[in-house]
Amino acid sequence: MTIYGSNLVRWPLSSSCVGVAVIVMNDHGKYLLHQGTFMEWCLPGGIPKPGMSQEEAARYFVEQATGGFNIQTLHMHKIIHGKRLFPLESEQLKDGYFISVVYLSKPKVMMEDADQLSDCFFDVNHLPFALMPQIKDLLIQHKLNTFRNYQ
């Protein structure tokens, strides 16, 4: 997950900080990832701008990651936290903690636009190497839960 403006937050943080991340799965069961500032692969997400709701921020970060594509309805998936998941952010919050609300959605694109995003969607069995193990685990868990729900 990248943070507004860069991978590091540029404004003073309180004792806790709530960000967003979005798991976007297309109709083929592939997940949207994008390359962050340091060329690492990540979920669309970050810290909402002041005055922006979590849902507005989730949509904003997906649009930024895809060059303007919209997503369908957002569904809260889970809340994640801890220094293991956010090592860079945790360094800045010495006495606090970083929390992220994870949403699920599907892309809302026309068929002719889908080809433009094809390089950004990955099968869970072929995720990029430069993806945090914690994000890989999150996507694998989601895929397993999706598979179980269809049986």
Q: Where are the domains of the chain?
A: 16-110+119-149
Could you tell me which of 101, 109, 82 has the C-alpha nearest to residue 43?
Answer: 101
User: 48-73, pLDDT tens digit by residue?
Assistant: 888 899 999 999 999 888 888 888 88
Residues 17 and 89 sit within 8 Å (Cβ to Cβ): yes
Question: Is pLDDT above 60 for 14?
Answer: no
Residues 34 and 120 sit within 8 Å (Cβ to Cβ): yes
User: 78-137, pLDDT tens digit by residue?
Assistant: 887 765 555 555 555 555 567 788 888 888 765 445 556 667 899 999 999 888 888 898
Determine the 3-state secondary structure of 13 from DSSP.
Answer: coil
Distance, in Å, from the CA atom of 118 to the CA atom of 100, rounded to the nearest integer, reads: 27
For residue 32, is it left (φ>0), alpha (ψ between -120 and 50) or beta? beta
More confident residue, 24 or 92: 24
CATH number for region 16-110+119-149:
3.90.79.10
